[in-house]
Amino acid sequence: MRFLGILLLFVLAFQLISRYLFPFLLKTFIKKAAKHQGSAHHSARPEGEVTVNYNPTDTNSTKFNPKTVEDVEYEEIKEK
């Protein structure tokens, strides 16, 4: 009997929380997200302006050097 009473209290508490607390938390989360999204769109640069920051890396290390390439041996497999 005690178990059923505790279970009933737990179910009623969960219903109250889900009915009032969850929607309140969801609304505040949506408001914060919308506020954050709105502040991200307003930047200091005018619309259409593009800035490119290019830092070239060491070009000698990325070039293809045919002297360092080795041949790979392979066998052809005939299908039946």
pLDDT of residue 31: 92
Q: What tokens appear for 48 in the block?
A: 């259409």
Q: pTM score, two decimals?
A: 0.38
Q: Which of 10-14, 19-23, 38-42, 55-59 has the highest mean pLDDT?
A: 10-14
pLDDT of residue 7: 95
Residue 10 corresponds to which amino acid? F
Residue 8 corresponds to which amino acid? L
d(CA 40, CA 65): 45
Alpha helices in the chain (DSSP H): 2-16, 22-41, 59-62
Contact yes or no for 51/45 (Cβ under 8 A) = yes
pLDDT in tens, 25-76: 999 999 999 888 876 655 567 778 888 888 776 655 656 777 777 787 888 8
pLDDT of residue 14: 92
Burial category of 40 from C-beta neighbours within 10 Å (exposed 0-12, middle 13-18, buried 19 and up): exposed
